[in-house]
Amino acid sequence: MSLAEAAELDAWMAAAVPHRNFADELEEGALFTELFAASQQHIEAAILDKVINRIREEEGFVSLLQQVEEEDGEAPQEARDEVPRLRLLRHWRMAAAVLLLIAAGTYLWYAGNTRKGMDVAEVKETIVMPGRNGAILTLSDGSQLVLDSLDNGVVARQQGANVVMNAGSIAYNHVGTGAGNVAFNTMTTPKGRQFHVTLPDGTGVWLNAASSLRYPTAFTGKERVVALTGEAYFEVAANAEMPFRVTINQNAAVEVLGTHFNVQAYGNEDSIETTLLEGAVRVVAGPAADKGNALRLKPGQQAKISRTASQEIGPIRLVKEADLDKVMAWKNGTFNFEGQTLEAVMRQLERWYDIKVVFEGKGRDMKFFGKMDRNITLNELLSILSNNGLQYKLEGGKTLIIQ
């Protein structure tokens, strides 16, 4: 394009807002996508047609057409109706500049990227489903039962009890007594699973994802003892003559007479939290024999035991007014992200959606607020979080990269 043509082009764009908008569309590439929708074989003709159609929509086209008709003189009507493209382009420098830019640059771009664009279009987003009911029951002899796929009925017979599946839950029916008949089972929920078990004494336990509970098939002796890793909610059957005790990673214990409480003791969280809803519990930090580092809780209170990266137990702290809604959100089928950091939120998603989270940048302390259903797909949840500034990339439905 000559200097004179460039000046004329600049003047045309400055003359009216639609002219400028039209030029911006070309510069940003939005119109190119529309132009290249035609087949590659006829692309040049399609480009001309598209450009001319856009020119016809712009202000000033009527006067331009009149000018062309005057130059055509007494030409037949059908000849004047078919406006010669080259004449039109010559009379309007903008169209000529557009055609030159397209022919010189974007045609090669189109030819080189058409296949690439088709490949992207053919890739479907991997939908990551939420966690569900399920667990693995390891019997005393080492054999394992995948509870997700078992029908109702007796699924195992052990010393002292029959193991019965009923409506997605496991319970134990006594068939004998005596210490010699006691065996130990372990209920494990992998990532993306949660499960409910009724223990031999009638205590109900709800296991969150990535947790395990070891317990006997029959309770004997002076106390009822179970061992927990991860997170669980307990509704303990009352028995004043046989206190209930939850040991936590050999680092702490919860002593119970009859009550409802939640214990969160994941290894990748920085504290062990016991939250009381009903009754009374005594939380002991450190070895069971160490009675100095202990707290007795009232309903609505929480005991927080700090923990270092090397899993060493620190002092125990009392939270007088615990956020019960947040504590019980997982059991009630929701996520409660009120005041939680991005890093804390991602740990929950790792456990519930069975994914790996990788941080590529800063922002781990970014705060989130709000609640949402725990039964939505990961894709839906991430879309909601992106409205709050989260930038991410999901690879293969298994790795979530936080950018």
Q: Which residues fall within 8 angstroms of residue 116, CB to CB, at 6 or more apart?
A: none
Please say which residue of 277, 310, 327 terminates a domain. 327
When divided into structural domains, the chain yields a total of: 3
- Amino acid symbol at 111: A
The distance in angstroms from the start CA to the end CA of the chain is 43
**Range of the structural domain that residue 252 is part of:** 132-327
Choose one of 327, 354, 372: the last residue of a domain.
327
Cα dist from 291 to 274, 286, 287, 387, 396, whole Å: 17, 9, 8, 49, 49
pLDDT at residue 341, as a whole number: 93
**Could you list the pLDDT tens digit for every one of the 403 residues in the chain?**
554 555 566 666 566 555 566 566 555 554 544 544 444 444 455 555 655 565 555 444 445 445 544 555 554 554 444 444 444 444 444 544 444 444 444 443 344 444 444 344 334 678 999 999 999 999 999 999 999 988 999 999 887 788 999 988 999 987 765 556 678 999 999 999 999 999 999 999 999 999 999 999 999 889 999 999 999 999 999 998 999 999 997 778 999 988 999 999 998 998 999 999 999 999 998 765 455 688 999 999 999 998 766 667 778 899 999 999 999 999 999 999 999 999 999 999 999 999 999 999 777 888 888 999 999 999 999 999 888 788 899 998 899 999 8
The pLDDT value recorded for residue 12 is 61
What CA–CA distance (Å, rounded) separates 219 from 178? 9
Specify whether the CB–CB gap between 249 and 311 falls below 8 A. yes
| Same domain assignment for residues 81 and 142 | no
Q: Cα 169–170–171 angle (5° rounding)?
A: 125
| Alpha carbons 100 and 26: distance in angstroms, whole number | 12
The domain spanning residue 347 has which CATH number? 3.55.50.30
Best CA proximity match to 246, nearest among 259, 263, 230: 263
Total count of residues recorded for the chain: 403
pLDDT value of residue 364: 86
176 and 243, same domain (yes or no): yes
Q: Which pLDDT belongs to residue 128?
A: 95
Residue 366 and residue 306 share a domain: no
Q: Using CA atoms, how far apart are residues 322 and 315, in angstroms rounded to an integer?
A: 18
